Amino acid sequence: MSKATIPQGTRDFSAEVVRKRNYIIQTIKSVFELYGFEPLETPAMENLDTLLGKYSEEGDKLIFKILNNGLGDPKNIEKSRAAFENVLQGKNDRQLTERALKYDLTIPFARYVAMNHGQLTFPFKRYQVQPVWRADRPQKGRYREFYQCDADVVGSTSLVNEVEFALIYANVFQQLNIDVEIKINSRKILTALSELCHAKDKLTGITVAIDKLDKIGIEKVEGELLQRGLNPEQINIIKKYLGISGNNKEKIKQVEELLGHTESGKKGIEELEFMLNYSSDSGLQSLTIDFTLARGLNYYTGIIFEVKAQHVQMGSIGGGGRYDDLTGLFGVPDIPGVGISFGIDRIYDVMEELSLFPKEVHQGTQVLFFNLGDAESTKAFSLMHELRAKDISCELFHQQSKFDKQFKYAERKNISFAALIGSRELETNTCTVKDLRSGKQVSVKQSDLAETIRKMKPEG
């Protein structure tokens, strides 16, 4: 009856897309493992209380809430009605909803750490790749269901962790063949800036405005700062700060002059210098200090990261930073941490745009056996058994058809080889193997089939 549809902002992923996405995800996961991180998965849904109030007022509105069951049960109906009245007034009511789809991976992780801090070995290093849901209105590159890909270390204040994350970024993007710039800054520098302006209370506002710089330009940032209650004198200081340029060394020198005399300024500079020293010792070249980097989220307290792809017009494809207190909201204080995130959808788009996916990524079945009759298929069946035992994926065309059809099927499934066993081959115990990309074909003994295919296999 009704037309088949999927919910707004969600997507089906076809075979080719899944394979390409898996290629990205596998690369990232293997690098995480290489650096000693362990996987964690948490449920699709959390208790609503776990999520509410953890983001922002806006964030709360964007949480997908799950309706309780049994609301229409006669013995509940009065309560349900009362609860609904509450909801209409913008409140939440446990009677109506007490569970919600997770909104990000960080808060569920914090909940997990708070629940299990007695059992965990600290520093605890975990990575997590799972879908999250937001009731946002979808638009370009923005979905209601999307994957986040996070790694965090909690229970350690050592800056070595930050260096490791920079190395992880470099390692992953090098493997994916994406040219990137890894930008760093310290929130302590931004704190120092707000102190210098005598506007410590406006730190968040300053951060949010600066964060928009590369998107809206300096004039509009000024406008926003003005709107957020800063006077021209203060804005001047900020403009001076944003004007800092040169290479890493020159930038540090300039920022030192501007706010090296403040306590947090000094600390921030130390953090950045530590990272530069350590990472150059590890052979990492692409780290760039960017004082205009701010990051929207205001729980960051130390080093912050952002990764930008070169040669394409695209927002950041990764970001993260240090936070002081992950689990305090769940009653377990003093667990600091640092984490990063990969934007899988954007990485996918970048790789698609620059044609960076290896050709062999989209390959399922390697060999298609043509169906040329019953006796022929029976032979094909026993050969398939042998190939599969040797880890060569293969399938038999489902019915006897014209060559045309069978070839087209193979072509569409991106199958590399056609194996033909017809009456001639049956008599001579041979098999005709055709490489569908080059068009070359050979006749081989059936017993040599697996070996032949392995040799003809172009890559890997």
Partner RNA sequence: GUGGCUGUAGCUCAGCUGGUUAGAGCAUCAGAUUGUGGUUCUGAGGGUCGUGGGUUCGAGUCCCAUUAGCCACCCCA
Task: Tell me if 202 contacts RNA by CB under 7 A.
Answer: no
Nearer to RNA, 104 or 395 (CB): 104
Nearer to RNA, 255 or 368 (CB): 368
Task: Tell me if 403 contacts RNA by CB under 7 A.
Answer: yes
Task: Tell me if 436 contacts RNA by CB under 7 A.
Answer: yes
Sole window of 160-168, 259-267, 270-278, 400-408 interacting with RNA (rule: CB under 7 A): 400-408
Task: Tell me if 81 contacts RNA by CB under 7 A.
Answer: no
Task: Tell me if 136 contacts RNA by CB under 7 A.
Answer: yes
A 10 A CB-CB count for 191 gives 22
Task: Tell me if 148 contacts RNA by CB under 7 A.
Answer: yes
Task: Tell me if 227 contacts RNA by CB under 7 A.
Answer: no
What CA–CA distance (Å, rounded) separates 42 from 57?
24
Nearer to RNA, 50 or 255 (CB): 50
Task: Tell me if 454 contacts RNA by CB under 7 A.
Answer: no
Task: Tell me if 404 contacts RNA by CB under 7 A.
Answer: yes
Task: Tell me if 315 contacts RNA by CB under 7 A.
Answer: yes
What CA–CA distance (Å, rounded) separates 449 from 430?
9
Task: Tell me if 94 contacts RNA by CB under 7 A.
Answer: no
CB of 204 to RNA, least distance (A): 10
Given a contact cutoff of 8 angstroms between Cβ atoms, the answer to whether 192 and 259 are in contact is yes
Nearer to RNA, 104 or 271 (CB): 104
Task: Tell me if 185 contacts RNA by CB under 7 A.
Answer: no
Among residues 53, 217, 229, 296, which is the contact residue for RNA, using CB under 7 A?
296
In the complex, which residues of this chain contact RNA (CB under 7 A)?
5, 7-9, 56, 58-59, 62, 104, 134, 136-144, 146, 148, 208, 215, 296-297, 315-316, 319, 341, 343, 345-346, 372, 402-405, 407-408, 410-411, 420, 422-425, 432, 434, 436-437, 439, 441
